[in-house]
């Protein structure tokens, strides 16, 4: 019985909250776009610097060490 009486008020509250929900939805969309751009600009280069650059340095050190210890001259 209480649900029948309270239904119009719940519906009215839901309708009144729609603009707030819309604002939060738009804000979430903007936040997702900003996070994506920040990820592309900062995180991807950071991953490259942290992962690829040390791997290239180790590869270069290993190649030089192999050339030195194999008895062959580099030049």
Q: pLDDT (tens digit, 0 to 9) for every residue of the chain, 75 residues total?
A: 678 888 888 889 889 999 999 999 999 999 999 999 998 999 888 888 898 999 999 999 999 998 888 876 656
What's the alpha-carbon Rg for the chain, to the nearest Å? 30
Predicted TM-score (pTM) of this structure: 0.48
For residue 4, give Cα distances in angstroms to 9, 10, 12, 30, 34: 10, 10, 14, 39, 44
pLDDT of residue 8: 86
pLDDT of residue 73: 61
pLDDT of residue 2: 73
């Amino acid at each position: 019985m209480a649900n029948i009486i309270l239904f119009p008020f719940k519906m009215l509250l839901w309708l009144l909250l729609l603009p707030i929900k819309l604002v939060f939805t738009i804000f979430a969309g903007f936040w997702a776009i900003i996070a994506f751009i920040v990820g592309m600009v900062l995180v991807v280069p950071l991953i490259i610097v942290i992962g690829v650059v040390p791997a290239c340095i180790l590869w270069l050190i290993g190649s030089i060490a192999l050339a030195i210890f194999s008895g062959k001259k580099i030049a």
